[in-house]
Homo-oligomer: A and B are copies of this chain.
Amino acid sequence: VSARSGKKAGHIHPLILAGGSGTRFWPLSRRARPKQFLALGGPRPLIVDTAQRLRGLTTARAISIACGRAHAPQIRQLFPDLAPDRLLVEPVARNTAPAIGWAALRVLARDPNGVLVVLPSDHHVRNPSRFRALLARAVRLCADGTLYTLGIPPTGPETGYGYLKLGAKLSGGAREVRAFVEKPSAAKAARYVASGDYLWNSGIFVFRADAVLAEIRRSLPELARILARIAPAVGTSREARAVERFFPQAPNVSIDYGIMEKAARVATLPADIGWTDLGSFAALAELKRVGRGGNVTQGSCVTIDSRGCLAISHDRPLVLLGVDDLVVVDTGDVVLVVPKSRAQDVRLAVAELEKRKLDKLL
For the complex, give the distance between the alpha carbons of A304 and B313 in Å.
22
Is A62 in contact with chain B by the CB < 8 A criterion? no
Copies in the complex: 2
Collect the chain B residues with CB atoms within 8 Å of residue A330's CB. 316, 335
Whether B322 lies near A342 (C-beta < 8 A) is yes
Is A233 in contact with chain B by the CB < 8 A criterion? no
Is A187 in contact with chain B by the CB < 8 A criterion? no
8 A Cβ contacts from A287-339 to B = 302, 304-305, 313, 316-323, 326, 328, 330, 332-339
Whether B361 lies near A334 (C-beta < 8 A) is no
- Determine how close the nearest CB of chain B comes to the CB of A360; give it in whole angstroms: 10
Whether A345 lies near B322 (C-beta < 8 A) is yes
Collect the chain B residues with CB atoms within 8 Å of residue A357's CB. none
Whether A338 lies near B356 (C-beta < 8 A) is no
Whether A342 lies near B321 (C-beta < 8 A) is yes
Is A352 in contact with chain B by the CB < 8 A criterion? yes
Whether A316 lies near B337 (C-beta < 8 A) is no
Q: Which residues of A contact B (CB under 8 A)?
A: 27, 302, 304-305, 313, 316-323, 326, 328, 330, 332-339, 341-342, 345-346, 348-349, 352-353, 356, 358, 361
Collect the chain B residues with CB atoms within 8 Å of residue A305's CB. 342, 345, 348
Residue of B nearest to A336 (CB): B319
Residue of B nearest to A301 (CB): B335
Q: What is the interface of chain A mostly: helix, strand, loop, or mixed?
A: mixed
Collect the chain B residues with CB atoms within 8 Å of residue A338's CB. 320-323
Question: Given contacts A326-B323, A328-B337, A337-B326, is CB(A352)–CB(B304) below 8 Å?
Answer: yes
Instruction: Name the one of B304, B342, B349, B353 contacting A349, with C-beta atoms under 8 angstroms.
Output: B304
Question: Given contacts A335-B316, A335-B318, is CB(A356)–CB(B323) below 8 Å?
Answer: no
Collect the chain B residues with CB atoms within 8 Å of residue A335's CB. 313, 316-319, 328, 330, 335
Residue of B nearest to A347 (CB): B321
For the complex, give the distance between the alpha carbons of A333 and B314 in Å.
10
Residue of B nearest to A318 (CB): B335
Whether B317 lies near A334 (C-beta < 8 A) is yes
User: Which 6 residue pairs are nearest across A and B when measured between Cβ atoms?
Assistant: A322-B342, A321-B338, A319-B336, A321-B349, A318-B335, A319-B349
- Determine how close the nearest CB of chain B comes to the CB of A272; give it in whole angstroms: 34
Collect the chain B residues with CB atoms within 8 Å of residue A304's CB. 348-349, 352
Question: Given contacts A348-B305, A349-B302, A349-B304, is CB(A339)–CB(B317) below 8 Å?
Answer: no
13 inter-chain pairs at a CB distance below 8 angstroms, sorted by A residue, are A27-B319, A304-B348, A305-B345, A316-B333, A316-B334, A317-B333, A317-B335, A319-B335, A321-B337, A321-B342, A321-B348, A323-B337, A328-B337
